[in-house]
Amino acid sequence: MTNDALISASRRQSLIAMLSIPVIALAASSFTINTAAHAADLPRVLVLATGGTIAGQADPRAAGAYKSGQITGEQLVASVPGLDKLARVNAEQISSIGSQDMNDKVWFALTRRIQQAFDKNEADAVIIIHGTDTLEETAFFLDNVVKSDKPVVIVGSMRPATAVSTDGPGNLYEAFQVAADPRSRGRGVMAVLNDKIQSARSVTKTDTTSIETFMSPNGGPIGYVDTAGGVRFLAQAPSAKRTTYALPTSDPLPRVDIVYSHANMDAIPIADAISHGAKGIVLAGVGDGNTSKSALDALEAAAKKGIIIVRAARVRSGFVTRNVEVDDDKNGFVVSEDLNPQKARVLTQLLIARGVTAPAELQKAFTATW
C-alpha cells in the first residue's frame, strides 16, 4: 500500500477493514521499524503499551466478547501500514492489563519512562497505548507530572484488535500523525481517538460502547486529525508554562475516595471512607456539587478533622462554584472547578502527596489548572 493510499479519505475504511484481521500471529521480536533512507529526518516516537481493548483478543464466552491486553504494543504497531513514513519507532511493554485495573504502580512506571526518554533525548514524542475506561485519568495524571514540552499522546480503541470493525488501527495511525507534528509541542498530554484531539484536562468518556465516546464537554476538542487532511489544531499552543508536580518517591498515592451523591443520601459512605483511611474525599455531588444535609454535615465534620473535602459534580458538564448553595469558606471545602470527580481525585492525591493540605492552597491549585 502506498503512502498516497494511506492519506486518501475514500480508502480509510478499507484500511481499517484490512487491519481488522487478527494480529496475534505477528512476531513479537525485538522491534524497530523504518529502514528508509530518509529515516534520519523523521521524529523518534517511543510507544509505551499498557494493554486495553485496543490490544484485545476475541473470547468465545459471548458474541463480541474479548480479553483486554492480549496483543503486544510491538504487534499493534507492526500491523499498521505507513507508520515508517511518519516516524522512527520503538515500542516497549509497560503492562498488559485492561484499564479498569490501572493503578499507581503503572502510572509511576509510565511517568519515569517518559521523563527518562525526554531527559536523555531518546525520543521526540511518546505515544501511550491504553484502555478507554480510565484513559482520561491516566492522561490527566501524566499531564500533571511529566516535565517537558514534547508531545505525549494517549490512544486506545472501543473495539478489540480482532473485531471486524476495529477502530484501533485508524486511531493509532492518527496518534502518530499528531505525535510527529511539530505543532504538538507545548500542548501537554493529548488524547487522540475517532479523528479528534482532546486535552487531558477536558476529555472524558461519555458512552459505554460507541466509538464516538470521548468528548470535552466544557472546552471541546483542541483539534482534529484524519488520514486525508492531516492534523488541524484549532489554536496555537499555550504560551504559559504548564504547572506540574514532582512525582512522589514511591507509590501508592495517598488514599482519596469518591462518594456519589443521590436522593435520600445519608452519612454512611462518608464514615466508611474515613474508616478505611481516606486522606481526602471527593463528593460527586448533585447539580452544582451539592448533597443532602446529613452528608454535608458529615463532610464538614470530616474537614474539621483534617480530611480534604472536594466538591465535584456527577453531571457531565459545567463548573462547580464556591459559596453559592454551600458555604465552602465556613466548611473548609474545596471546589473542583471544571474537573469531574475522577480527575479531581487525581489532583487531590498529587497535592496531598506534595504536602498541600490547607483549603485555600488546595483551591488555588484547582483554580490555577484551568
- Burial zone of 277 (CB within 10 Å; 0-12 exposed, 13-18 middle, 19+ buried): exposed
Three cell numbers written together for 182? 511539530
Residue 211: what residue type?
Answer: I
Q: Which of 50, 53, 134, 204 is catalytic?
A: 53
> Cβ distance 335 to 313 under 8 Å?
no
- Residue 324 half-sphere exposure, CB side, CA atoms within 13 Å? 10
For helices 135-145 and 341-353, the axis angle rounded to 10 degrees is: 30
Active site residue 53: yes
b/e map 349-364, b = 16+ CB within 10 Å: bbbbbeeeeebeebbe
Interstrand relation of 44-51 and 88-97 (parallel, antiparallel or unpaired):
parallel
> Cβ distance 144 to 52 under 8 Å?
no
User: What is the set of active-site residues?
Assistant: 53
